[in-house]
Structure 1
Amino acid sequence: MRVVIIGAGPSGLVTCKSLLEAANGDYPFDPIVLEQEDNIGGTFRYRSYEHANLVSSKQLTSFSDFRLPLSHADHLTLEEYVLYLENYANAFDLAERIRLNCKVTNIQRLESGKHQVTFEVRKDSLTSGPQIIVADYIALCAGLHVTPSIPTIPGVENVLTSRNNATIEVMPKIFHSHTYKSRSQLTGRRVLILGTGETGMDLAYESVKAGAREVVLCSRSGFLSFPKALNDFEIFGIDFKSRTPVPIDSLITNLGETAYVHPWIARSHIRWFISDFVIKRVLWLLTGTQAGCNQWVGELHPSRLGRAYVFLNKSHKAMPYLNRPYRKRAWYLEYLSRYIDPQEDSPPHTNFTVELAPFPSHFTSDGQVIFTPSKRKDYLRTSKMDIRPDTVIYATGYTQQFEYLDKASNYPSPQSADLRNIAKSGDETVAFIGYVRPGVGAIPPLSEMQTFFWISLIKKQIKTPLSVPYYHLLTSENSRIKYGVDHSAYMATLAKDMNAAPGLWDLWQIYGMKVLLCYCFGAAFTPFYRLVGPFQSKVAPQIIKTELWETITRRGVVGNIVMGLIPMLFYLTLNLLAFGLGVGWQVIGGDL
C-alpha cells in the first residue's frame, strides 16, 4: 500500500515512522515522503531565527518513544529541535523513505480510487520534468506555517525614516516574519511589528536587544501572556525561587478534567470556565493583574479572556518592556506578593519601552502610521505620538493553501474533515496531519496521535459514529483562526476513539501505583496513550516512571496539592454529580 506523505517536518516524519511500524501482511504500508526543501525539519529549520526557542516543553513536544535525556533543558532552541528530528529520522531508518527537493505540483484522483501525485525534482537550481507516483493513500503534512498571511494596509509603501523632521537616507524594510533571521536586521531601526503572537513578541524582544531606536508592537484585539515556565514569586518578602521551573504546559492534570469527564460536563466546557475563574484570581493576588501573568497592557476583552478562547502566548520576554508605562501597584500589595521577571528577561537599567498599539488603519503620504481608533489605553498613549517606522514586520501568521490538490477531484479540506479534523467520512484515503493548533500545548504530539487515529481508521478499528467533539476552542463567526483545540481534550478524545485511554484499575494492576499517580496528576503526555491499545509501547512505562515522574514531582508537595489534588477532587465531584443526575435523567427517559 503506497502512502505518499507531503512534507518532512515533524508531522511527516512521525507519520512515516508510525506507518512503517503499523505495517503487516494485511496492511503492507509502503510510505514515501516528498519534501520540497533540501533537508528535513520544515518550519523549524527554514523559518527559524537566531535566539529562537520552543515555547512548548520537551516533555510535551517529544514523540512518545523517542525522548531527550533528563539532564536536557526543558525548552529547546530551534537548532536543538532540528537536531532532535534528525536523530529521530536516523533512529528509525527514515532517510531511505525521504526524497528531498521534490515539490508536489498536482494530486488528482484516478478512476480506480487511487491518487496520482505529480512532482518536480530540483537539483543544482535545475528542475526536472514532471514525475509521477500512484498512491493508495495521501498524508498531507506540510504544516500550518508555510504560506505567509499578509494583510493589506493602505500607504505602507510610504514607510520612511525621519529624525528631527529631516529625512535621512535609510532604506525602508517591509517583510514578513518568516524572512527574519538575525538581530542585524533590526539594529538602529525604527521597528513596527504587526501581530502579538509568539513570533511578534519574540521580535519585539529581539528588536530591543538588537539596539533598535524605536519599537512599536501592534495588536488586533489583545493577547493572553504567560511565561513558558513558572518563574519566581516573592510573598511577604520571601523569594520562592525554583531551581527547576515547571513548564506551564505540564500543569493541567488528567483525572477529572481530561479522563473520566461526563458528557454534560464536556459539553458545557464548565471545567474550562472554572479554571479560568480561579486562575484570574490567583494571578491578581500574585502579580496584581488578571489579564495575564504580570500583564498590564494588551488585555483581551473579558468575554474572550481564558483558555476556552485563545492561544496562550508563552513568549514572555518582551512583557517587562511593554509593562513599563502601565504597571502601577500599591507598595503594600507589592510586599504581599510580587512576580519576579526572569533575569534574562528583565529590562536593562534604561527607560526603553516597547510601545503597544492597535493595528494601523493606514500610513500617511509622508510615512506616519495612523492607528485604528480604540478605547484601549495603549491607543490613548500611542495616538499622541508621531511614529514613522523605517521597518515594518508582518508577524501576522500564515494561511493554509492546497493549490496542488486537483479541484475536479473534490478533495476535502481540513475544515471539512469531519473525522476529528483528520479525514472525511467516505474519503479516508486522504489525511490532514498537523492541521490543528492547541491553545496550550504543541503540534508534534497531536500529529503523532492523529497518525495513530488515521492508521486505526484505515484498519477499520475505529467505531463510528464518533462521539460529539467538545475539544474545539470557542470562536466567533469572524474569528480568523478556527482550527484551535484544547490539547488535553483532543488527545484524550483520540485515545478513547482508539481504545488507547487506560483505565485506572488496569493501570494499577498492570503498571503499579507510580504510573497510576503519574497518569492522574500529569498532563496529556503521549506516552500515557501507549500503555494500552493498538499502539502499546514497551518503553512507555519507563518514560512515565522516570521523565514524567520527575516533571510532576518537581512541582513539590504544595504545588501538587494546589494545582493537582484540589482541582482533581473538585472536578471529580462535579463529574460524579453529573453522573448521578444523568442516571436519574435516563430513568425518566431522557437522552444524554
Structure 2
Amino acid sequence: FLYGTISFATLRKRQHLAATKMPVQDLLYDWQVWCYFAVLTWALRKQLTRTSAKQASIAAALVAVTWYYILRYTTAYKARGGDNLFDDAYADVLQAPHDRNSCQLLTWVVVAALWCRHEPAELLWTGMLGAMSAAFALTPPSFQKRSTRVPLAYVVCSVLALLAVQRLPQLAVTDAVTFGVVLKALHLLLVAPRWLPSFGRSFDEAGVYAVLGVLIAWRRDRVACWPATDCQKSIFVDLVACAVISADAVRRDRGPTTAAVFCVASLVFSPGAAFAFFLALRAAAARDAYEAPAEAKPLGRVLVIGAGASGLAAAKTLLENGAEVVIVEKTGQIGGVFADAYEGAHQVSSKYITPFSDLRLGPEVESHQSLDDYVAYLHTYAVEHDLMRYMRHATVEVLDKTRRGYRATLLDGSHRTVEPFDRVAVCSGLHQEPKVPDIPGAFKGLVIHSQDYKESSIFKNKRVVVVGCGETAFDVAHAAAANNAAHVTLATRRGFVSVPASFGEDFAPLDCLIANAGTHCWESSWSRRVGFHWFITTKFQRLGMLCVSGSSAGWNQWRGRADAMDWAEGRKHIVNKATKCMPLINRGPKEAWWARPWRWLDKAQADVAVGVDLLDHYEAASFGGRAVRFRSTRADDRHDVEVAADVVVLATGYRQTFPFLKRASDGQDDALPTEHFICDPEEGDLAFFGFARPNVGAIPPMSELQAMWWVAKLQGRATGPRVPSAPYKLTNCRLSYGVDYGLYMFSLAREIGAAPNLARWILERPAVALACAFGQAHAPLFRLDGPFAHGDAPDVCATELLEPIRKRGAAMNCIFGLTLCFFA
C-alpha cells in the first residue's frame, strides 16, 4: 500500500515538473499495483498485531532497502521514457547481462502457493518484490503437520505456472502487452487453486515438491555477488533475505546442521528450489512415520527353546514387550554352538554386524572376535538384560498343539514335567544333528564329524582328508597343514566362493563393503524387478577380483570354482569367508611362470610347510583300509580317485531337525515355515529364529529382527505392507533357507514399520542418514524408527557405524555414490 502510494505520487510529481502528461495505461497499471499491495496489507493485519518487535524491525529493514532500489529504478526508468513500468522491469531483468532471469521471484511464489494451501492467504503474495521479504519475515513457516496428499488443482496450477516462467525469457523480446498478459496469467494461476475444486484426485506431497524443486533448480536465478542493475539489486536483496529467513525457520524446526545444509543448497539451486527440496524431504518423513496402534495385544506365556544368540535375542524382545518367558537350554549354559567350538575358532562376521542393537562392541575389540570372546559377550548380554533367572536346564521332549496353545514335556535329568504355554519360539540352532554321509566300506583310521573336532594335535604326522568346503572345512584343513600333518586333502562336491572376511584391521571388513541404498532398499522398483543392479555390478566385482587376485571365481581362488558361477548375479551364493586355506590350495596352480604377479597374496601362509590338495567336484564314494575313494561329480568326468588317509573329517554340515515336534520327515530335513522362515500363517504362535542363512551377514542380528517381527505381528503392530519372500531367496544356493542378508532384513523391517525413515534422518541428523544409506544392514538401523525404536540407536549410527564407511576409502564410497545415482 505504501509502495503504491509513494511510487504513484513520485511519478506524478516528476511528470508534472517535466510538464508532461502521464499515459492512461501507466496510470491504470500503477493503480493495479496499488491494489495488489492494499490487499497484501489487509491480509497482513493480523500478522502485524502479533509480530514481535524483532520480526517487525527485520521486515521493515528489508522492505526499506527493497523500496529504495525500486524507487530509484522507477524514477530512472520513467526519466528514460519507458512505457510500462513492471512489465518492462521484468523484461529488463530477463535481458540483463550475465544470463540472469527473474524466474526466482516467480518460482518462489509457486512454491509458496503450493506449500501454504493450509496457511494464511498472504503468503500467496510473497513474490511481489519488496512485499515478499515482509510477508515471509512476518509469517515464517510454522511446519505444522499436514496432509501428505496434494490436490490435483494445486499440482496443475503449479506446473502451468512453472511452464509460464519457462516462457518468460522468450516473451521478453515480444511486445509489452503479450508479456503483461502472460505475467497476469501467472499471477492468476498462483491464486486460482484456492477456489478451484479438487477434481477428486491427489498426489504424494513428497513427489510433487521434489518435481517442483527440480524444475525450479533447472531455471535457477544465477545471481552474481554484485548485481548489475538496480532492479537486479532489489531482487538480489530479496533472494538473500528469503534464504536467511528460510534457513532460520529450518534451524528452528530441524536444528543447525540441517540449516547449514539448506544454506548450501540455496547457493547451489536457489532458495526456492532448496525450500522445495526441504519440503519434499519433510513430507516424505511424515509419510513414512510409524504410527503405533492404540493397544497392543498381550503375548502370554512363551517358551523359548535354546539359550544361544537367537534364544537370548528372542527372550529379551519378548520380555520387553510384556511376555512371561521360560528359556529352556539342554546344556545348561549360555552360548549354544559357540560355547562348544574347536580351538582357535573365530567369527567370520565382523564386530560391526554381529552384535545386538542394544549392546555394541567397543573400538578396542578386534574386527572378528574369537568364539570364546563372543560367548563372554553373550554372558554379558544375558546379565545386562537379567535373562539368567528365566533359564532352566532341561530338554524339550515333546511339543503338542492344544486348543489354547501348546503343551511342552520338559525333561530335567530324571525329572519330567508337562507345562502349558501360549506360544513357542524355537531357537535350537542349526548345528544340532550332524549330517553324516553313508559311505560304504571299512576304514581303519579315525573318522569324525567336524562337530567332534576340538584340537589340531590329532593331525600331527597324519594323512588328513577333509570332506566339505564350508568355513569349518577350511579351518580344519588349515589347522592340519599348520600342525605338521603328513598330507592334507580337501574334497568338494560343488565348488565354493571364497572371499576373505577381512583385509586387515585398517580396512573395512567384507560384510561392510555393501551399501543399503540402491542395493537392497530404497531401490527403484524396476531395478529390483529385473535385477539390473546386480547384473551390472557383479561384472565389475568379478573383473576387479580377476585383475587384483588373478581369479574371477573368488578372491585369490584359483581352484574350486562353484557351480553356476557366472557373471550375471553375484549375490546368489553363500560366501566362504574363512580363507586362510586358500594360499595352501593355490600352491600348485601358482607354480606356473605367468602366475608370479599374484603370488604376493599367499605370503601370509608361506611358513606352512604342507600344502592342501583340492579334489575339485569329487564326493566320497567308499572306504577301503586306510584310503578313501572319491567319485567325480562332473557329468563329463566319471573317473575315481583314491586318497590315502589316517584321519577323515566329515565337514558335511548338519541336518535341520526338530525332534520334539514329531514330524514325519522320511530322513529329510524338517521344513522351515513359509512366512520369512519364521512362522506359518495358519500357525503364527510357533516361531523359528536363527535358521535362515545369510550370504554375507550374521545370524544373531537376523534373529533379533525376526523376534521383533514376530512380536509386532502377534501384538497387531505390523502396520507395513506384506513383502514377498522371493526377492531375497538365494535360488541357486544349495541351502533352501539361504537369503540375501540385507534384502531379508529390510523386508522384515518394512512389514513392521521399523525400516529407517531416511528422509527424517536427512533432516534431523545427516550422519545417521549417511550410515543408513551407505552402510550395511546393521541391527541398530532398525531401532531408529518404528515400534522398537531405541534411544541409543541414533548415537550408535552416527559414530560406530560410520567407522567402516570411513575405512572403505574415498574411491569405494564414490563408487557407492554412483550406484545410488543409477539404481536408488
Q: For this structure pair, what is the TM-score category when the shorter chain's length is used for normalisation?
A: 0.7 to 0.9
Residues 432/362 of structure 1: CA separation in 2 closer, same or farther (3 Å cut):
same
CA contact (8 A) 1:501 1:529 kept: yes
CA contact (8 A) 1:139 1:432 kept: yes
- Map 1:17-166; keep pairs closer than 5 Å: 17-23=316-322, 29-46=323-340, 48-100=341-393, 102-111=394-403, 113-122=404-413, 127-128=414-415, 130-155=416-441, 157=442, 159-160=443-444
Partner of 1:491: 745
- Whole-angstrom CA distance in 2 between matches of 1:244 and 1:88: 28
CA contact (8 A) 1:280 1:291 kept: yes
Partner of 1:308: 571
The range that moved more, 181-190 or 305-314, is 305-314
SS in 2 for 1:567: helix
Identity across the alignment (%): 33
Return the letter of the residue paired with 1:131.
T
- Whole-angstrom CA distance in 2 between matches of 1:434 and 1:405: 17
Residues 19/339 of structure 1: CA separation in 2 closer, same or farther (3 Å cut):
farther
- Whole-angstrom CA distance in 2 between matches of 1:375 and 1:424: 38
- Whole-angstrom CA distance in 2 between matches of 1:379 and 1:342: 36
Cα deviations across residues 249-270 of structure 1 (Å, max 9, x unaligned)?
0111011112212334333333
What's the TM-score, normalizing by structure 1?
0.83
Establish whether residue 221 from structure 1 lines up as the match of residue 494 from structure 2.
Answer: yes
Return the letter of the residue paired with 1:4.
L
The offset of 1:328, in angstroms, is 5.8
Establish whether residue 321 from structure 1 lines up as the match of residue 584 from structure 2.
Answer: yes
- Map 1:376-455; keep pairs closer than 5 Å: 383=641, 387-407=643-663, 415=671, 417-455=673-711
- Whole-angstrom CA distance in 1 between matches of 2:653 and 2:600: 30
What's the TM-score, normalizing by structure 2?
0.60
Return the letter of the residue paired with 1:319.
M
Return the letter of the residue paired with 2:776.
A
Partner of 1:590: none
**Partner of residue 12 from structure 1, selected from 311, 315, 318:** 311
SS in 1 for 2:713: helix
The offset of 1:465, in angstroms, is 6.9
The offset of 1:378, in angstroms, is 12
Higher helix share: 2
Residues 334/192 of structure 1: CA separation in 2 closer, same or farther (3 Å cut):
closer
- Count, aligned residues: 520
Larger C-alpha radius of gyration, 1 or 2?
Answer: 2
Residues 285/58 of structure 1: CA separation in 2 closer, same or farther (3 Å cut):
same
The range that moved more, 179-188 or 81-90, is 179-188
The offset of 1:360, in angstroms, is 3.7
- Whole-angstrom CA distance in 2 between matches of 1:375 and 1:480: 16
What runs of 5+ residues in structure 2 fail to find an aligned partner?
Answer: 1-299
- Whole-angstrom CA distance in 2 between matches of 1:248 and 1:513: 25
Residues 554/464 of structure 1: CA separation in 2 closer, same or farther (3 Å cut):
closer
**Partner of residue 359 from structure 1, selected from 615, 618, 629:** 618
Cα deviations across residues 1-58 of structure 1 (Å, max 9, x unaligned)?
11000000000001011111122xxxxx101100000211001012x01111000001
The offset of 1:435, in angstroms, is 1.2
Partner of 1:558: 811
CA contact (8 A) 1:267 1:470 kept: no
Residues 352/230 of structure 1: CA separation in 2 closer, same or farther (3 Å cut):
closer
The offset of 1:326, in angstroms, is 1.0
The range that moved more, 192-201 or 467-476, is 467-476
Return the letter of the residue paired with 1:394.
L
Return the letter of the residue paired with 1:254.
N
Cα deviations across residues 452-491 of structure 1 (Å, max 9, x unaligned)?
0000010112258722224433335xx6420000000000
SS in 2 for 1:551: helix
Residues 7/351 of structure 1: CA separation in 2 closer, same or farther (3 Å cut):
closer
Partner of 2:134: none
Greater relative contact order: 1 or 2 (C-alpha under 8 angstroms, separation 6 or more)? 1
Residues 296/526 of structure 1: CA separation in 2 closer, same or farther (3 Å cut):
same
- Whole-angstrom CA distance in 1 between matches of 2:612 and 2:675: 47
Partner of 2:47: none
Establish whether residue 570 from structure 1 lines up as the match of residue 822 from structure 2.
Answer: yes
The offset of 1:349, in angstroms, is 6.5
Partner of 1:589: none
Return the letter of the residue paired with 2:745.
M
Residues 282/368 of structure 1: CA separation in 2 closer, same or farther (3 Å cut):
same
- Whole-angstrom CA distance in 2 between matches of 1:9 and 1:528: 23
The offset of 1:509, in angstroms, is 2.3
- Whole-angstrom CA distance in 2 between matches of 1:276 and 1:353: 29
Residues 461/378 of structure 1: CA separation in 2 closer, same or farther (3 Å cut):
same
Partner of 1:210: 483
- Whole-angstrom CA distance in 2 between matches of 1:99 and 1:471: 39
Higher strand share: 1
The offset of 1:500, in angstroms, is 1.1
CA contact (8 A) 1:61 1:445 kept: yes
SS in 1 for 2:706: helix
CA contact (8 A) 1:139 1:430 kept: yes
Partner of 1:239: none
Return the letter of the residue paired with 2:630.
F
- Whole-angstrom CA distance in 1 between matches of 2:775 and 2:793: 14
Establish whether residue 2 from structure 1 lines up as the match of residue 295 from structure 2.
Answer: no
CA contact (8 A) 1:32 1:99 kept: yes
The offset of 1:373, in angstroms, is 2.8
Return the letter of the residue paired with 2:401.
R
CA contact (8 A) 2:696 2:741 kept: yes
Partner of 2:521: 259
The offset of 1:505, in angstroms, is 1.6
The offset of 1:416, in angstroms, is 5.5
- Whole-angstrom CA distance in 2 between matches of 1:554 and 1:487: 21
- Whole-angstrom CA distance in 1 between matches of 2:583 and 2:674: 43
Residues 475/466 of structure 1: CA separation in 2 closer, same or farther (3 Å cut):
same
Cα deviations across residues 304-341 of structure 1 (Å, max 9, x unaligned)?
6754332100000000110011126765x865x77634
CA contact (8 A) 1:470 1:489 kept: no
Partner of 2:759: 505
CA contact (8 A) 2:304 2:326 kept: yes
Partner of 2:773: 520
Cα deviations across residues 180-238 of structure 1 (Å, max 9, x unaligned)?
0011121121111110000000100010112111111010110000110135xxxxxxx
**Partner of residue 546 from structure 2, selected from 284, 288, 295:** 284
- Whole-angstrom CA distance in 1 between matches of 2:528 and 2:812: 26
SS in 1 for 2:490: strand
- Whole-angstrom CA distance in 1 between matches of 2:785 and 2:735: 34
Partner of 1:457: 713
Residues 147/68 of structure 1: CA separation in 2 closer, same or farther (3 Å cut):
same
**Partner of residue 601 from structure 2, selected from 321, 340, 345:** 340
Residues 56/464 of structure 1: CA separation in 2 closer, same or farther (3 Å cut):
closer
**Partner of residue 545 from structure 1, selected from 798, 813, 817:** 798
Return the letter of the residue paired with 2:709.
F
Partner of 2:204: none
Residues 96/471 of structure 1: CA separation in 2 closer, same or farther (3 Å cut):
farther
Return the letter of the residue paired with 2:436.
I
Cα deviations across residues 265-286 of structure 1 (Å, max 9, x unaligned)?
3333333333322110010111
Cα deviations across residues 351-376 of structure 1 (Å, max 9, x unaligned)?
63444344344336444322213569
Return the letter of the residue paired with 1:513.
P
CA RMSD of superposed structures (Å):
2.4
Return the letter of the residue paired with 2:743.
A
